[in-house]
Chains A and B, each alone.
Chain A
Amino acid sequence: MMDKTVTSAQYEQNQGQNACVKAVIDGKTLLVPMDNDNTDYQAILEWVADGNTIEEAD
């Protein structure tokens, strides 16, 4: 069964800390909190487990 498709992910920083992950999921740009209960963040973690990397903030 298909689920979410992550195509890119990058940390967003605020006050020197990673505040959230800016990710493109199913073609939409989303700001995803780093909460393990959040299904978008779960999709990002699966994407990372598949060998991808969340880019550092600009």
Chain B
Amino acid sequence: MTKAAELAKMGEVLTNGQIGGRRNIVINGAMQVAQRSTSVTGIGASSGYFTLDRWYLEAGTTAGRLTMTQTADGPIGFANCMKLDCTTADTSIAAGELLVLQQHIEGQDVQAIGKGVTGAKQITLSFYVKANAAFTFNAEIQDQDNGRTNAKSFATTTDWVRHEITFEADADDGSSPFDDDNAKSLSVNFWLHGGSTFTSGTLASGWENTTNANRADGISSFYSSTDNNFFITGVQLEVGSVATPFEHRSYGEELQLCRRYFWAMVPVGEATGAAGDAGQYVMGSGYYLGTGQVELPLVFNQEMRAAPTLEVSSGTNHFVIEAAGGNDYFNTWAIFAAKKQSALLYGTSNVSGTAGQSGRVVASSTSSYVYWSAEL
């Protein structure tokens, strides 16, 4: 790029206000936070959040399988990436098959785009990728509120390459802004595999009312061989027409942003000791509501997006209350009065104590886990 062009770009960035404030709309773009797990095998039969926080993998009807890992690899400035490794190939592709890496974003966090109204702004997606070979995949912005999409293709090589893709402003007809709420409004989608339902059309040149056949036109298949792998990091979505340098945030900041959607209160494997042992995982101060019920009130340290779902282990001696009356092991928890800010855990399975007595509540098995989820 010439000096004049650089200055022109800089002027554009200043005009668009991209220098000031937080730029990256994507959370965990540098693949730092992995509260659930750092590696999961056999993915492909169903969709879900598997390893790195905020990154959802949509998978459907394919026989292909993959391993997803947080991997210590990346271009200069990035310690981690997400690696997808094909472990079962699928070369007989049925119409409805798909594999899409996604991040869903709340409407109240994308109002700066001004989408769907006069004066709507361009947005720019940048990311680093590499693979075992040259592939063509699609990066797509999806307006979930108004059923509109805009996809562009990109190519991989065996070296890290930063792609910078600017998506047109979508002024539309003035009637399709993002909802200003806590629901899913915008999705960043990386199409890695698709059947004819998604590939039989023609990639649109800009925004269009979603036509499934156009969305993955021209892409390669990640599942074409068990030799295949795909690496991605440094994902940034920002308002404006210029891809500015990746906005690095501290691990602590990124973790707190992730906890709005998921909190591993007791990560599996972290409780390594039983009652009285330093390896126990302290959960808080609880009490017996009655002889057969233990309660543990919680105030979340990060307000969650919605009242969260509890995913909790259940097994002999997974939890214990250490009270004056002795150590009382019990099996699992349920929830009451769950809100975005707080919840009450209560346990009745195998509980026996003295009403009113308080005690230290801990997780006491390496198999214990307590996860809260308010994902989009």
Contacts and interface: CB of A to CB of B under 8 A. Distances in A.
A39 B375 contact: yes
A1 B46 contact: no
A54 to B, nearest CB: 15
Given A20-B336, A26-B48, A30-B311, A35 B306 contact: yes
B343 to A, nearest CB: 8
A29 to B, nearest CB: 8
A27 B46 CA distance: 10
Tier of interface size on chain B: 20 to 34
Nearest to A19: B336
B60 A33 contact: no
B182 A33 contact: no
Contacts of B306: 35, 37-39
Given A3-B47, A14-B346, A20-B338, A33 B307 contact: yes
A38 B335 contact: no
Contacts of B343: 33
A19 B98 contact: no
Contacts of A1: 58, 60, 98
Interface residues of A, number: 25
Contacts of A19: 334-337
B60 A14 contact: no
A51 to B, nearest CB: 22
Contact of B309 (A2, A3, A27, A40): A40
B33 to A, nearest CB: 20
Interface string A9-39: 0001011000110100011111111010111
A52 interface: no
A31 B307 contact: no
A21 to B, nearest CB: 10
Interface in A31-57: 31-33, 35, 37-41
B182 A37 contact: yes
B309 A33 contact: yes
Contact of B336 (A3, A14, A27): A14
B346 A35 contact: no
Nearest to A14: B336
B346 A38 contact: no
A39 B209 CA distance: 24
Contacts of B375: 39
Nearest to B48: A26
B89 interface: no
A42 B44 CA distance: 23
Contacts of A31: 309-312, 333-335
B309 A32 contact: yes
A38 B47 contact: no
A38 B308 contact: yes
Interface in B28-63: 46-48, 58-61
B51 to A, nearest CB: 16
Contacts of B346: 14
B336 A38 contact: no
B309 A12 contact: no
B282 interface: no
Q: State the 9 A-B residue pairs at the shortest beta-carbon distance, nearest first.
A: A37-B306, A35-B307, A33-B338, A33-B307, A31-B310, A2-B60, A19-B336, A14-B336, A40-B309
Interface of A: 1-5, 12, 14-15, 19-20, 22, 26-33, 35, 37-41
26 contacts: A1-B58, A2-B46, A2-B47, A2-B60, A2-B61, A3-B47, A5-B46, A14-B336, A15-B336, A20-B335, A20-B338, A22-B334, A26-B46, A28-B311, A29-B314, A30-B309, A30-B310, A31-B335, A32-B309, A33-B307, A33-B309, A33-B338, A35-B338, A37-B182, A38-B307, A39-B375
Given A2-B58, A32-B309, 17 more contacts: A1-B98, A4-B47, A14-B336, A19-B334, A19-B335, A20-B310, A20-B334, A20-B336, A26-B47, A29-B311, A31-B309, A31-B335, A35-B338, A37-B305, A38-B306, A38-B308, A39-B376
